[in-house]
């Protein structure tokens, strides 16, 4: 029970301020990247007309996500952003699934990961918006419908980062806390595997998909 909310941090004191590094998140993100690389290697190593199991999974993921991106962004932008969207989904999927393995933790359980990815999506969306519409039209969209609503429009845009990142973080961390508490209450008998399957595999998949789709949708809203 003492592990609830425990974080291992590396504090580096610099003159003026302290740099805080969450060690576990760094290591686990590395594990996720490594697993993604292994998957990519296994999927792309021996490609052929008669695909192996990894090639099938890889092709399925990429073609589905490419299709969804193309539907939302159109052909031109899908070509640029679909690889990023596929990478985002695969990273999040492996991240959210990592917690079902003992001694490993989801990097998404720490707010820094979802927040970083959320800010990334936000910056990309607004970059695309400025590039597509031109700076003047882009700025003008904040002053609609009436000019004095500008501050609220800006807050509304920033609230998107809060909502997209806290949704993922709350779900993954919530699942982890519920698994921890229920395992403690039931002395690790019977229930934890089912809870891991539900929160780790099922909710993890859905939330990875929702995060990816919302990133696509935020970009597509800026395009129109």
Indicate the residue among 8 and 45 with the shorter CB distance to another protein: 8
CB of 72 to another protein, least distance (A): 7
Check binding of 159 to another protein (CB under 8 A).
yes
How open is the CA angle 147-153-155, to the nearest 5 degrees? 135
Residue 94 CB neighbours (<10 A):
21
Q: State residue 20 phi and psi, 5-degree precision.
A: -110, 125
Pick the closer one to another protein by CB: 44 or 174.
Answer: 174
CA distances from 191 to 6, 109, 171 (A): 23, 21, 19
Quick one: which H or E segment has residue 11? strand 9-13
Pick the closer one to another protein by CB: 28 or 68. Answer: 68
Query: Among residues 155, 193, 194, 197, which is the contact residue for another protein, using CB under 8 A?
Result: 155
User: Does residue 224 interact with another protein by CB under 8 A?
Assistant: yes
| Residues linked to residue 20 through DSSP beta bridges, in sequence order | 11
Q: Does 129 engage in binding with another protein (CB under 8 A)?
A: no
Size of the site for another protein (CB under 8 A): 36
Using the CB atoms, write b or e for 106-127: b if 16+ within 10 Å. bbbbbbbbbbebbeebbebbee
Positions touching another protein (CB under 8 A) are 1, 4-5, 68, 71-72, 152, 155-156, 159, 162-163, 166-167, 170-171, 173-175, 177-178, 181-182, 185, 198, 202-203, 206, 209-210, 213-214, 217, 220-221, 224
């Amino acid at each position: 029970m003492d592990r609830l909310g425990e974080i291992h941090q590396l504090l580096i004191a610099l003159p003026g301020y302290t740099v805080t590094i969450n060690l576990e998140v760094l290591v686990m993100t590395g594990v996720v990247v490594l697993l993604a690389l292994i998957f990519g290697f296994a999927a792309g190593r021996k490609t052929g007309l008669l695909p192996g199991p990894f090639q099938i999974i890889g092709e399925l993921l990429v073609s589905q996500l490419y299709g969804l991106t193309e539907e939302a962004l159109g052909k031109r932008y899908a070509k640029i952003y679909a690889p990023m969207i596929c990478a985002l989904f695969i990273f999040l999927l492996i991240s959210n699934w990592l917690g079902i393995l003992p001694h490993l933790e989801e990097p998404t359980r720490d707010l820094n990961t979802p927040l970083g990815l959320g800010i990334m999506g936000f910056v990309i969306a607004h970059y695309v918006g400025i590039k597509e519409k031109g700076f003047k039209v882009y700025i003008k969209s904040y002053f609609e419908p009436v000019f004095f609503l500008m501050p609220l429009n800006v807050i509304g845009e920033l609230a998107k980062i809060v909502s997209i990142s806290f949704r993922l973080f709350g779900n993954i961390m919530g699942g982890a806390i519920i698994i921890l508490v229920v395992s403690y209450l039931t002395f690790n008998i019977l229930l934890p595997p089912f809870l891991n399957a539900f929160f780790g595999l099922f909710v993890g998949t859905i939330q990875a998909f929702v995060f990816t789709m919302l990133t696509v949708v935020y970009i597509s809203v800026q395009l129109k």
